[in-house]
Structure 1
């Protein structure tokens, strides 16, 4: 019997001046463990007249995880952090009770061709930490646990799994693992996982129960402890998940919470422009999209 509960295909979504492939949330599966939102960004080549510019916008109730394969993004936030995100590093911003940030092409790369490719992820906070003070951490590529087993290359991007612990300061039991293959291999790591698990195929493919799955597919497991499959040669996959929360989470635009009243308050606060602003990036912002807002 197949261990695959659900297959989610990437769906096109617009995040301003940039198209992405949306994986979560999905109507039949809102979250996988604490992971509530995943966008596959690119791959896309921007010409010298184009820039990646996500204007200042707010979040509550979550941590953002940015992981680039190629390209570069300048992160700025209202805590005063200004840092260039490069491939292989992890940008981990915890919005808590509320934080504004922007993501732009760095000044030294503007007006130059740029290739962009990566993952943008939201991880919901436990209920008792949804209103915590905002925090920011940047973990370099060299700090991410990386190892090889035969022709398989592993990275533990966040959380704990496979006997390793990532330095990314997460707030719940979760894991995000990268696996790259040079040749066809059987992978069996289910006994090392817990909670819920999803497997995203970036390139190459996997075979499970006689079925071949291809890029741009997210496979959600029935049971994370039965995570066994054959990975094809020259493949890259991401396995993520963890312990689900007992309470439902609601999403409205960039706001996540178990309490709808907190979302309503954040909406009014942003409409009134009373969030703390980003020093040096406070002349533009993304307005609250009243025309298509819905609480999920």
Structure 2
């Protein structure tokens, strides 16, 4: 059952449990979209996948094969194992735990996402979160691009008992090398024990969410456990307060909302139905490029 904050000054609106859903041969935790929210600001979808791979598999038997995207940014944070990205732009790259794969799908890209060869062959834990970020209509047809960010390249620091890894945006004096077409701040937060407490500044007009991978936190007094999402709404205060209740990991997605139509169809997110129809035709005509696998 979702819960709501009783404090009129709190930016936390609801705490919602993720749904466990089948995705082909795997299961993912999906807090967004959900019955309460089709989307939250620019954030359209969040999938959390954690699985122990058995090994003795071909890399092409695991993960997701070639598929297209247009009109938004699919982003993947890797928490355990390694994920190989290949795409129609010619990129072929593996990101390991602590890193991020950021795609600006723009006018179209075809890519695959599979465990790296060693993980597929030897087995082991693979854990990742993929989330989709809408992009403003004026940049939806920009050229597609891919931006890998390794753990070593991710701005990271310790603050008030929390380890923070900044995936995108600015946080005080820290800034991520990944550039977005829209104001965002995306970060991974980790506490090793209970009692780590800090205020997080968030512009008053911004919205977003905190997704707890495991452990539990208090955010503005609201208990939020693993596999739950706390939604953040615009408000008259410029911060939220977060406290770890035990060892925990949290993904923060916040950004400025923009008021534009959102029309989605499978892997395409556009502003009109006509643009969706064009995306389907362009993909089948090969205008988003091609990607083949053995």
* Length-normalised TM-score, structure 1: 0.87
Q: Which residue of 2 aligns with 1:102?
A: 112
Q: Which residue of 1 aligns with 2:216?
A: 205
1:48 pairs with 2:55: yes
Classify the secondary structure of the residue corresponding to 2:169: strand
Q: Which residue of 2 aligns with 1:258?
A: 271
Q: Which residue of 2 aligns with 1:89?
A: 99
1:264-279 aligned at under 5 Å gives the runs 264-271=277-284, 275-278=288-291
Gaps of 5+ in 2: 1-5
The Cα shift of 1:194 comes to 5.2
Q: Aligned Cα RMSD in Å?
A: 2.1
Could you tell me how far apart the structure 1 residues matched to 2:56 and 2:20 are?
23
| Bigger shift: residues 190-199 or 136-145 | 190-199
The Cα shift of 1:197 comes to 2.5
CA contact (8 A) 1:175 1:242 kept: yes
* Length-normalised TM-score, structure 2: 0.87
1:30 pairs with 2:38: yes
Q: Give the number of aligned pairs.
A: 280
Could you tell me how far apart the structure 2 residues matched to 1:104 and 1:126 are?
29
Decide whether aligned partners of structure 1 residues 250 and 6 sit closer, same or farther in structure 2, where only a CA change above 3 A counts.
Answer: farther
The Cα shift of 1:248 comes to 2.5
Classify the secondary structure of the residue corresponding to 1:111: helix
Task: Give CA deviations for 1:180-228 in whole Å, capped at 9, x if unaligned.
Answer: 1233133211356751031111121112465422100001023463411
The Cα shift of 1:114 comes to 2.6
| Bigger shift: residues 33-42 or 207-216 | 207-216
| Bigger shift: residues 141-150 or 178-187 | 178-187
Task: Give CA deviations for 1:231-267 in whole Å, capped at 9, x if unaligned.
Answer: 2231211221100111021221111111221112222
Q: Which residue of 1 aligns with 2:3?
A: none
